[in-house]
Amino acid sequence: MPTCTAPRPRPSSSHRRRPAGPTAPRSRRKPISTTSEFYLAQAAESARAARETNLSNVRERCLRAEAAWQAMADRLIRNEQGRQSQAADKQRQQDANR
């Protein structure tokens, strides 16, 4: 049965729980991927899982997950474009002041 994973909101620092057992040092921890490609891939995987399931509740969950992943990808892409635009504007201002 296909499964889809909905994105989990990051807890605020005051609500983080400490693991019961020993934890890996920071250098060996796997980095969290926050690229638009990752989010788009997760959205596509959730859409695929929704198409392949016969259970309506699973399909609805996967479609909700797809929408959430897509929204995060769209937001990240807009932010990246805004940063690039601001950097270009700043460079133009610096060039004009010279």
Q: Which pLDDT tens digit goes with each residue over 9-51?
A: 666 655 556 666 555 555 565 656 678 999 999 999 999 999 9
pLDDT tier, 61 (very low <50, low <70, confident <90, very high otherwise):
very high
In this structure, are residues 68 and 7 in contact, taking their beta carbons and an 8 Å threshold? Answer: yes
In this structure, are residues 22 and 83 in contact, taking their beta carbons and an 8 Å threshold? Answer: no
Could you tell me the two tokens for 20?
A: 């019961």
**Predicted pLDDT of residue 64:** 98
Angstrom CA distances, 60 to 6, 45, 79, 93, stand at: 11, 14, 29, 49
Neighbours of 65 (CB within 10 A): 22
pTM above 0.75, yes or no: no
Furthest C-alpha separation in the chain: 65
Position with higher pLDDT, 79 vs 7? 79
